[in-house]
Amino acid sequence: EAGVAQSPRYKIIEKRQSVAFWCNPISGHATLYWYQQILGQGPKLLIQFQNNGVVDDSQLPKDRFSAERLKGVDSTLKIQPAKLEDSAVYLCASSVGQGIRTEAFFGQGTRLTVV
Amino acid sequence: ELKVEQNPLFLSMQEGKNYTIYCNYSTTSDRLYWYRQDPGKSLESLFVLLSNGAVKQEGRLMASLDTKARLSTLHITAAVHDLSATYFCAVGRDYGGSQGNLIFGKGTKLSVKP
CB-based contact A103 B99, cutoff 8 Å: yes
If one compares B97 and B46, the residue with the highest pLDDT of the two is: B46
Helices H / strands E in chain B, number of each: 0, 11
Domain count within chain B:
1
- Residue A29 and residue A27: Cα distance in Å, rounded? 6
Domain residue limits at B83? 4-113
**pLDDT surpasses 70 at A41:** yes
At B48-107, the pLDDT tens digits run 998 888 999 999 999 999 999 999 999 999 999 999 999 999 998 766 666 667 899 999
* Helix/strand/coil for B83: helix
Reported confidence tier of residue A2, pLDDT bands at 50, 70, 90: confident
CB contacts of A42 in chain B (<8 Å) are: 4, 88, 90, 104-107
Q: Between residues 37 and 56 of chain A, which touch chain B (CB distance below 8 Å)?
A: 40-45, 48, 55-56
Closest CA to B50 of B64, B35, B62, B69: B64
Residue B32: give its domain's CATH number: 2.60.40.10
- Across the interface, whether the CB atoms of A108 and B106 are under 8 A apart is answered no
For residue range A4-19, list pLDDT tens digits in order: 999 999 999 999 999 9
Going from N- to C-terminal start, the domains of chain A cover 5-114
Please identify, in words, the CATH class of the domain defined by A5-114. mainly beta
